[in-house]
Structure 1
């Protein structure tokens, strides 16, 4: 895709779900629920399309530590072999069971102004692969509808918020750069799982891949406001 001088921004709200939020989420991101005011403020702006993504895992998902006897959430790793090409693999950290299909933990949080969302894109539904990015897993076994939705709207720029900054937000933003979009993470609209590592190293890595980390009060978001 060639990005031209036209400006058609999209807002992607990544996995703002009950299981990723305190006080009861099984994989709660510290202060995760606190992003709601910023996210809702962004939803009032004239983005070409506003998309919420949702982790929507089967119970037997490969990323759940409980599906690997002897594994410990947040500490154990598992190497995933490509289902049809054994020369390809992806090693992933194992997590507590979260966002299981048709459970309360998979629901978008009620604080989110869902009426302003145009599309909800489910991800992580293939039990065989881990899928942080809302576009696709690292081996492209599972591909969501997100990419096609952005193309249909002739989007040029992608603004990413949601949970968590150092995993699914980061991966989604990096994929958006790979797909040719100018890409921004709005810092106040996200929170990391591991804050110290994110602040010390993670931000630099993601910026090194072409993602810009910006403020909700910065000129990039102001440009969206001016479209009204």
Structure 2
């Protein structure tokens, strides 16, 4: 019998061509290598995982996170990975934040925005497109960082609640940006949030240890593939079968 106190969802974050070697414009080292683990989670029955969501960065060409859309010194654009930009709430100029700038990536309807073919795209129950508003960055699959008021909300929190989800497992790319922000917002929304460490990779691998500590300080548990939290999913599938 299913445990009503444990009703999990899987969030597969941004497994897209532009985030994966060898040709991605913002390729994360070993990004493709995590796909078999993710597919094994996606293959779990709906009785075990009633909600399986894949997310996609889905940016317009004029997105604020692209370094090429910002003027640097002289006639040159700002530099991806190195330079930053200030993002101002379009509805409230007193609220702003600083964001790291990136190469052009995951532009809507381009090959780089496609989910990688190795991913079993027959399994997700929902696809969420994020980062669609050119005025704000949106690492999290839930919403942008601005709050007074919020500029862009994907409806993910409401979707999870509509399925009575209690626990959220987050995998995909990248560990130190979109996976991190998604998991932290899941915890902020009151869900038990897990990041499966072997099923994600970081943009900046050298900084992952410190990033992991920061994630856990926000109420997220970073768990191992062989740990009890992941084993619980597969044991549940075995019981149901």
Distance 2:23 2:155 in 1: 30
Describe the superposition over 1:168-204 as per-residue Cα deviations: whole angstroms up to 9, x where unpaired: 00000000000000000001110000001112x1010
Question: Residue 159 of structure 1 aligns with which residue?
Answer: 169
Question: Residue 12 of structure 1 aligns with which residue?
Answer: 11
Q: CA deviation at 1:145?
A: 2.3
Task: Provide the secondary structure at the position in 2 that maps to 1:188.
Answer: strand
Question: Residue 205 of structure 1 aligns with which residue?
Answer: 214
Q: CA deviation at 1:133?
A: 0.4
Question: Residue 61 of structure 1 aligns with which residue?
Answer: 63
Is it true that 1:101 corresponds to 2:108 in the alignment? yes
Is it true that 1:133 corresponds to 2:143 in the alignment? no
Question: Residue 84 of structure 2 aligns with which residue?
Answer: 77
Q: CA deviation at 1:5?
A: 6.4
Task: Provide the secondary structure at the position in 2 that maps to 1:62.
Answer: coil
Distance 2:226 2:208 in 1: 21
Q: CA deviation at 1:226?
A: 2.7
Q: CA deviation at 1:44?
A: 1.7
Distance 2:96 2:131 in 1: 17
Task: Provide the secondary structure at the position in 2 that maps to 1:226.
Answer: helix
Q: Could you say which structure has the larger radius of gyration? A: 2
Task: Provide the secondary structure at the position in 2 that maps to 1:116.
Answer: coil
Question: Residue 148 of structure 1 aligns with which residue?
Answer: 158
TM-score, normalising length from structure 2?
0.91
Question: Residue 39 of structure 1 aligns with which residue?
Answer: 38
Distance 2:220 2:71 in 1: 37
Is it true that 1:182 corresponds to 2:192 in the alignment? yes
Task: Provide the secondary structure at the position in 2 that maps to 1:147.
Answer: helix
Distance 1:187 1:41 in 2: 15
Q: CA deviation at 1:162?
A: 0.3
Distance 2:152 2:142 in 1: 9
Q: Which runs of 5+ in 1 are unaligned?
A: none
Describe the superposition over 1:199-226 as per-residue Cα deviations: whole angstroms up to 9, x where unpaired: 2x10100011111011122111111223
Question: Residue 25 of structure 1 aligns with which residue?
Answer: 24
Q: Which runs of 4+ in 1 moved over 6 A?
A: none
Question: Where in structure 2 are the equivalents of 1:110-125 lying within 5 Å?
Answer: 110-125=117-132
Task: Provide the secondary structure at the position in 1 that maps to 2:94.
Answer: coil
Range 214-223 or range 102-111, more displaced: 214-223
Q: Which runs of 5+ in 2 are unaligned?
A: 73-77
Task: Provide the secondary structure at the position in 2 that maps to 1:165.
Answer: coil
Of residues 204, 213, 219, the one that matches 1:194 is 204
